[in-house]
Amino acid sequence: MSAFQQPSTSTREADFVRLLEDNKARIMRLCKAYTSSREDREDLFQEIAVQLWKALPSFRGEASVSTWMYRIALNVSLRFSYETKRPKPSKERITWIEETTPHPHDDATRERIEQLQRCIASLPEVERSIMILYLEECSYKEISEITGLTETNVGAKISRIKDKLLGCMQKSEGGV
């Protein structure tokens, strides 16, 4: 990923495509946590891609690529969730994302994935951001850099949110 440290115009497109190709599932999972429909999810993905493209030349490698990417993606997602609370003007549909059927899971796994997604969607926005970063296996240091919280605070919050999430999952399982 060191190529991102000194982006030139000639390599910008290649860097950008590689960045998105490597991280498209991560970004899409994030989009799914902040939206309720496929259209909104694709719109959010598009908006994150535009912001990453715009920010790429100013990326100086002070943070890791994933920290930089998550910081932008989360800020765009939060802005997007504010925006979707008001009626949106009609927008042209994008044509460059194709979502195919995910890996075949058995019914029980699929049900648990859906429960997890529902429980994450029910969290307040800031808690949701922290939990998504945790589930994406970001270190506490990275989460702290992305969210601006101290590492100790991140640890405490994650522990609390995890309990909440597991409780929600168990409740859902009990309800099924």
Q: Which residues bind other proteins (CB under 8 A)?
A: 13, 16-17, 20-22, 24-25, 28-29, 32, 46, 49-50, 53-54, 58, 60, 71-72, 75, 78-79, 82-83, 86, 88-89, 94-103, 105, 109, 112-113, 116-117, 120, 126, 134-141, 147-148, 155, 162, 165-166
Closest approach, Cβ 107 to other proteins, in A, equals 14
Closest approach, Cβ 80 to other proteins, in A, equals 9
Q: Is 146 exposed, middle or buried (0-12, 13-18, 19+ CB in 10 A)?
A: buried
User: What CA–CA distance (Å, rounded) separates 101 from 12?
Assistant: 31
Choose between 89 and 175: whose C-beta lies nearer to other proteins. 89
Three-state DSSP class for 67?
A: helix
User: What CA–CA distance (Å, rounded) separates 132 from 136?
Assistant: 6
Choose between 160 and 162: whose C-beta lies nearer to other proteins. 162
Evaluate the CA torsion angle 148, 150, 155, 160 in order and state its sign. Answer: negative
Closest approach, Cβ 115 to other proteins, in A, equals 9
Q: Are 31 and 45 in contact (CB under 8 A)?
A: yes
Choose between 53 and 175: whose C-beta lies nearer to other proteins. 53
